[in-house]
Amino acid sequence: MNRSAYLLGDEDPDLPGQIDAAARAGFRSMGPDAFSIARWCEAGSSVEELADRIESAGMRTFELPALLVGDDAAQTRAQTDAMAAIARVLRPEFVQLNVESKVDAAVLDELQRVGDVFGQLGVNLAIEYLPWLPDVSNLQSTRALLQRAGIEGAGIIVDTWHFFFGDDTWDDLAALPLSEIAYVQFDDHPALESDDLVAETLGRRVMPGEGQFELERFCSLMRDKGFDGVVSCEILSEETRRMDLGEFAQRVYESSRSFWP
């Protein structure tokens, strides 16, 4: 996501370059985001070509970010249909999802519809909570949503950024059942410079071990829980956004791997 079309504006996110750099660094899973895939297709390429490129690099598509579910049912359904078309080709294990609005009966119905659409494709939902969202803002509220929705195979993305800068506690993380975890998103961050959490999370993350997060404790707790799933590295930073792709991928891989040997 660091070089997503969502963040780069008119600049080409260079999906082929990202794929090749990730493969050379040692990654075996890829998460091309829907915004960059749309840009790729607008430039005349196809999702099938992207799938071939990922497979040729010796990787698979693990996650597909990001579907936004909210109180605009028409918008949610349009995004769902567009991402389902991508998922039919890339065959990700998870679609990353954010619930942007308060969760009333209508939003819950849409979420369940989304689960049905992707469930028919054999794709699970990974719900990412964000500290500034109105309802789905921490582990407890996301667990409650999973229980209300009852979507088979849906789980929670445990992102270190949202855990450490939200109101979750270590007890909350310890109480999270392994069965409710989709995967981990891994990153680090220095002390906050502002109250603008969105700007901070998109522009100031650092490589694991270079910030203030208690990552050793986090990893130890997750291992004690029995977690041995995918760790998705998500270093979003203005400083590294236009770094050489090979250098960026290698630094992300090595710094993250030191915590997950």
Mapping DSSP to helix (H, G, I), strand (E, B) and coil, where does residue 182 land? strand
Could you give the CA distance from residue 228 to residue 196 in angstroms, rounded to a whole number? 33
Q: Find the CATH number of the domain harbouring 132.
A: 3.20.20.150
Name the β-bridge partners of 237.
Answer: 204
Give the pTM.
0.96
pLDDT at res. 116: 98
Domain count, the chain: 1
The H or E element that residue 144 is part of is: helix 139-149
The per-residue pLDDT for 50 is 98
Tokens at 6, concatenated: 């969502």
Q: Which amino acid is at 246?
A: G
Rounded-to-5 percentages of helix, strand, coil across the chain = 50, 15, 35
β-strand partners of 183: 157
Residue 198 and residue 132 in contact, taking contact as beta carbons nearer than 8 Å: yes
Pair 29, 252: CB distance under 8 Å: no
Which amino acid is it at 99?
A: V
Residue 247, H or E segment: helix 245-257
Which two tokens mark 122? 């054999």
What is the separation, in whole angstroms, between the first and last Cα of the chain? 23
CA max distance for the chain:
49
pLDDT number for residue 218: 98
Q: Look at residue 259 in the predicted model and tell me its pLDDT.
A: 98
Flag whether 68 is in a domain: yes
165 assigned to some structural domain: yes
Evaluate whether residue 234 is within a structural domain: no
**Residue 117 lies inside a defined structural domain of this protein:** yes
Q: What is the rounded distance in angstroms from the CA atom of residue 174 to the CA atom of residue 176? A: 6
Residue 214, in any domain of the structure: no
Q: Give the domain range for residue 130.
A: 5-183+192-203
**pLDDT given for residue 231 in this prediction:** 98
pLDDT of residue 244: 97
Helix (H, G, I), strand (E, B) or coil at 111: helix
**What is the C-alpha separation between 118 and 106, in angstroms, rounded?**
19
Is residue 217 in a domain?
no
CB neighbours of 221 closer than 8 A, spacing ≥ 6? 170, 173, 174
| Whole-angstrom distance, CA of residue 40 vs CA of residue 46 | 7
What is d(CA 31, CA 37) in angstroms, rounded to the nearest whole number? 11
**What values do phi and psi take at 198, rounded to 5?**
-65, -45
235 lies in some domain? no
Element (H, E) at 67: strand 63-69
Beta bridge pairs of residue 246: none
User: pLDDT truncated to tens, each residue of the chain (261 aa)?
Assistant: 999 999 999 899 999 999 999 999 999 999 999 999 999 999 999 999 999 999 999 999 999 999 999 999 999 999 999 999 999 999 999 999 999 999 999 999 999 999 999 999 999 999 999 999 999 999 999 999 999 999 999 999 999 999 999 999 999 999 999 999 999 999 999 999 999 999 999 999 999 999 999 999 999 999 999 999 999 999 999 999 999 999 999 999 999 999 999
Q: Within a domain: residue 82?
A: yes
pLDDT at 220: 98
